[in-house]
Structure 1
Amino acid sequence: MKEQKNSRRQFISKSIVGLSGSILASGLPLSSFAENKITAVDEADSSHDFLTKPYLQAPSSDSITIMWITKQLSLNWVEYGETEKLGTKAQQCSHGMMNTNSKINKVTLTNLKPGTRYYYKVFSKQILDFQPYKITFGDIINSEINHFETFPEKATNISWLVLNDIHDRPESFSQLIDLNQNKPFDFVFLNGDMFNYQTDENQIIENLLTPCNIFSSKKPFMFVRGNHETRGKFSRNLLDYYHNYDNKEYYTFQTGPVYAIVLDTGEDKKDSHPVYGGTVNYDSYREEQAAWLEKQMNTKAFKKASFRVVMMHIPHYHSDEEHGTTECRRLFGPLFEKHKIDLFVAGHTHEYGMFEPNTDHSYHFVIGGGPETGIRTLIRIEANSKILKLQMLNDSGKEIGVFTLNSKRKNL
Structure 2
Amino acid sequence: MLRMRRLFVAAVVATCVLGLSPAFSQDTAKLDIVHGPYVQAVTDSSATIVWFTNKDCVSKVEYSPCDSNEVVTTLSSHNRLVDANTRIHRITLSDLQPGRRYAYHVVSTEIVKFDPYQVTFGDTISAGPYRVQAWNPQKEEFSFCIVNDIHEKADRLDSLLNQVPLDTLDMVVLNGDMIDHWTRENQVFDGFLDGCVKRFAREIPFVYVRGNHETRGALARDLLDLFPTPSGRYYYAFRHGPVSFLVLDCGEDKADWNKEYSGLVAFDAYMAEQTRWLREAVQEESFRNARYRVVLVHIPPAANGQGYGATRIRTSWSPILNHANIDLAFSGHTHRFARIDPND
Task: Tell me the TM-score range normalised by the shorter chain.
Answer: 0.7 to 0.9
Q: Quote the residue 1:237 is aligned against.
A: 222
What letter matches 1:206 in structure 2?
Answer: D
Find the aligned partners of 1:263 and 1:181 in 2 and give their Cα distance.
Answer: 27
Q: Quote the residue 1:54 is aligned against.
A: 37
Superposition pairs for residues 269-280 of structure 1, below 5 Å? 269-280=254-265
- Cα deviation for residue 283 of structure 1 reads 0.8
Q: Secondary structure at 1:151's aligned position in 2?
A: coil
**Preserved CA contact (<8 Å) 1:44 1:138:** no
Find the aligned partners of 1:285 and 1:145 in 2 and give their Cα distance.
Answer: 40
- Identity, % of aligned pairs? 36
Equivalent residue for 2:285, pick from 277, 300, 320: 300
Q: Quote the residue 2:336 is aligned against.
A: 351
Q: Quote the residue 1:77 is aligned against.
A: 60
Q: Quote the residue 2:75 is aligned against.
A: 91
- Cα deviation for residue 49 of structure 1 reads 1.4
* Deviations, residues 148-184 of structure 1 (Å, cap 9, x unaligned): 2333352212321100000010122221122123561
The answer to whether structure 1 residue 201 and structure 2 residue 153 are counterparts is no
Q: Secondary structure at 1:207's aligned position in 2?
A: helix
- Cα deviation for residue 238 of structure 1 reads 2.0
* Deviations, residues 91-130 of structure 1 (Å, cap 9, x unaligned): 0112111111431111100112221111111011011111
Q: Secondary structure at 2:315's aligned position in 1?
A: helix
Q: Secondary structure at 2:231's aligned position in 1?
A: helix
Q: Secondary structure at 1:354's aligned position in 2?
A: coil
Q: Quote the residue 1:255 is aligned against.
A: 240
- Cα deviation for residue 318 of structure 1 reads 5.9
What letter matches 1:240 in structure 2?
Answer: D
* Deviations, residues 290-319 of structure 1 (Å, cap 9, x unaligned): 000000011111111111111100012265
Equivalent residue for 2:122, pick from 131, 138, 155: 138
**Preserved CA contact (<8 Å) 2:53 2:87:** yes
Find the aligned partners of 1:272 and 1:47 in 2 and give their Cα distance.
Answer: 48
**Preserved CA contact (<8 Å) 1:86 1:119:** no
The answer to whether structure 1 residue 167 and structure 2 residue 161 are counterparts is no
The answer to whether structure 1 residue 112 and structure 2 residue 96 are counterparts is yes
Equivalent residue for 1:123, pick from 90, 107, 122: 107
Q: Secondary structure at 1:138's aligned position in 2?
A: strand
Q: Secondary structure at 2:255's aligned position in 1?
A: coil
Find the aligned partners of 2:134 and 2:299 in 1 and give their Cα distance.
Answer: 31
What letter matches 2:34 in structure 1?
Answer: L
Q: Secondary structure at 1:246's aligned position in 2?
A: coil
State the TM-score, normalizing by the size of structure 1.
0.74
Q: Secondary structure at 1:215's aligned position in 2?
A: helix
Q: Quote the residue 2:169 is aligned against.
A: 185
Identify if the C-alpha distance between structure 1 residues 320 and 337 changes in structure 2 by more than 3 Å, giving closer, same or farther. Answer: closer
What letter matches 2:178 in structure 1?
Answer: M
The worse-fitting range, judged by mean Cα deviation, of 98-107 and 259-268 is 98-107
Find the aligned partners of 2:165 and 2:242 in 1 and give their Cα distance.
Answer: 24
**Preserved CA contact (<8 Å) 1:50 1:71:** yes
* Deviations, residues 315-340 of structure 1 (Å, cap 9, x unaligned): 12265421101000111011012222
| Structure 1 stretches lacking a partner, 5+ long | 1-42, 361-412
- Cα deviation for residue 44 of structure 1 reads 6.7
**Preserved CA contact (<8 Å) 1:158 1:258:** no
Find the aligned partners of 1:182 and 1:48 in 2 and give their Cα distance.
Answer: 31
The answer to whether structure 1 residue 64 and structure 2 residue 34 are counterparts is no
The answer to whether structure 1 residue 287 and structure 2 residue 272 are counterparts is yes
What letter matches 1:142 in structure 2?
Answer: S
State the TM-score, normalizing by the size of structure 2.
0.88
Find the aligned partners of 1:327 and 1:236 in 2 and give their Cα distance.
Answer: 22
Q: Quote the residue 1:376 is aligned against.
A: none
Find the aligned partners of 1:236 and 1:347 in 2 and give their Cα distance.
Answer: 22
Identify if the C-alpha distance between structure 1 residues 74 and 183 changes in structure 2 by more than 3 Å, giving closer, same or farther. Answer: closer
- Cα deviation for residue 82 of structure 1 reads 2.2
Identify if the C-alpha distance between structure 1 residues 80 and 45 changes in structure 2 by more than 3 Å, giving closer, same or farther. Answer: farther
Identify if the C-alpha distance between structure 1 residues 183 and 148 changes in structure 2 by more than 3 Å, giving closer, same or farther. Answer: closer
Find the aligned partners of 2:47 and 2:274 in 1 and give their Cα distance.
Answer: 25
Identify if the C-alpha distance between structure 1 residues 129 and 162 changes in structure 2 by more than 3 Å, giving closer, same or farther. Answer: same
What letter matches 1:344 in structure 2?
Answer: A
Equivalent residue for 1:155, pick from 120, 124, 139: 139
CA-atom RMSD, angstroms?
1.8
Find the aligned partners of 1:294 and 1:77 in 2 and give their Cα distance.
Answer: 39
Larger relative helix fraction: 2
| Structure 2 stretches lacking a partner, 5+ long | 1-25
Find the aligned partners of 2:228 and 2:70 in 1 and give their Cα distance.
Answer: 24
What letter matches 2:149 in structure 1?
Answer: D
**Preserved CA contact (<8 Å) 1:86 1:120:** no
